[in-house]
Amino acid sequence: MTLSKRDFLALGAAAGASMALPAWAQAKPLIASINMFVPAAPGGGWDGTARAIERAAKAAGLVGTMQFENVGGAGGMVGLPRYVNQRKGQGNSLMIGGSVMIGAGIANKSPVTIKDVTPIARLTEEAGVIVVPASGKIKTWKELEAAIKANPKAVSVAGGSAGGTDHLILGMLIKALGKNPREAAYVAFAGGGPANAAILGGQVVAGISGYSEFEEQIKAGRMIPLAVSGKRRIPGVNVPTLSELGVNVTESNWRGVFAPPGISTAQREAMIDFVTKLNASAPWKQELETRKWTDAFMTERPFERDLAKDITEKEVLMKELGLA
């Protein structure tokens, strides 16, 4: 067979383009499409986790396309029933969730809770950070501590939804400082964006959330980080733990992914395989480092057991703090 000059040049160009593509781009992705449900407003921690999953999964060649739906409110309790009812049995659907959702379900006495979805994997853990606006009157931990001891009701604190990790941290903090946690002046927000605006606008005295949600404002000098709630300092972040400051409080916020109820064993295993490969990928490890998230990967039955234990412990804690 003979080739014309035009055909020869076209064939050469196609071959060159193929050689220029990375190896994974030429292969079929592990999953063609995933519908990602985020039961929170854009701009917060869950939304950031979902977008990080998309970036890393695409870079690693694990997914073709991802579609997103955000439904915020009440620590996930507004979006959760929608996910359970509308996505039931859909094997290509994932929902972002985490420890916040446990407390929110208890606080809101929700008929649909995290128990009604299918656990796939815990992905990350992130300590909370307590911040104050740089333009505010309080600049140091000692000043904030003194204000809480004087009158907790006068120290308004912004955070995520009522009953979530941020709320629990404040309640535990007030109790540790010898005051009644029921006096907490907690101001709940459905997403990180509104909470940031309230702190920067001086509408509240302080704020509590995951470090990644405040990082940009901290680096810009608009917020002052006073303490972190984890067992140890965040790598690369020179902020003391509450324990170092003499306050016996440790609490972290984990995030993970869940499938809808009613999926088959094969569909569940396919999603477990997806997140396992995601967790092992270089792009995901880069996301963890960039966002200062701790790798807390756990899947299948160990995750289910750990989740059940977390729910039981939070039910007890919230009753002690008067939040349930």
Domain with residue 243: its CATH number is 3.40.190.10
Q: How confident is the model at residue 164 (pLDDT cuts 50, 70, 90)?
A: confident
Domain co-membership, 144 together with 70: no
Domain edge (last residue) among 193, 224, 252: 252
**In angstroms, how far is the first alpha carbon of the chain from the final one?**
80
Domain co-membership, 121 together with 258: yes
Residue range(s) defining the domain that contains residue 74: 31-125+253-320
Q: Decide: 36 and 261 in contact? Cβ < 8 Å.
A: no
Residue 9 covered by a domain? no
CA 172 to CA 176: how far, in whole Å? 6
Domain co-membership, 286 together with 231: no
Average pLDDT over residues 105-123: 94
CA 123 to CA 98: how far, in whole Å? 9
Listed range (179-193, 240-254, 284-298) with the worst mean pLDDT: 179-193
For residue 7, how many C-alpha atoms fall within 13 Å in the half-sphere facing its CB?
A: 4
Domain co-membership, 75 together with 136: no
- Give me the pLDDT at residue 15, please: 43
CA 94 to CA 35: how far, in whole Å? 6
Say yes or no to pLDDT of 240 above 90. Answer: yes
Domain co-membership, 56 together with 149: no
Domain co-membership, 131 together with 247: yes
Determine what percent of the chain is predicted with pLDDT higher than 70: 91
Place of tokens 């094969």: 266
Residue 18 covered by a domain? no
Q: Greater confidence, 12 or 282?
A: 282
Determine what percent of the chain is predicted with pLDDT higher than 90: 72
Q: Greater confidence, 231 or 26?
A: 231
Side chain identity, residue 67: Q
Residue 295 covered by a domain? yes
The enclosing H or E element of 270 equals helix 265-280
Domain edge (last residue) among 206, 236, 252: 252
Residue 24 covered by a domain? no
Q: Greater confidence, 180 or 10?
A: 180
pLDDT for 179-197, tens place per residue? 999 999 999 987 678 899 9
Domain edge (last residue) among 233, 252, 271: 252
Residue 5 covered by a domain? no
Residue 2 covered by a domain? no
Average pLDDT value for the chain: 90
Residue 1 covered by a domain? no
CA 162 to CA 171: how far, in whole Å? 11
pLDDT for 128-156, tens place per residue? 999 999 999 999 999 999 999 999 999 99
pLDDT for 255-285, tens place per residue? 999 999 999 999 999 999 999 999 999 999 9
Domain co-membership, 137 together with 91: no
Q: Please state the domain count of the chain.
A: 2
CA 149 to CA 141: how far, in whole Å? 12
Residue 10, φ and ψ in degrees, nearest 5: -65, -40
Domain with residue 44: its CATH number is 3.40.190.150
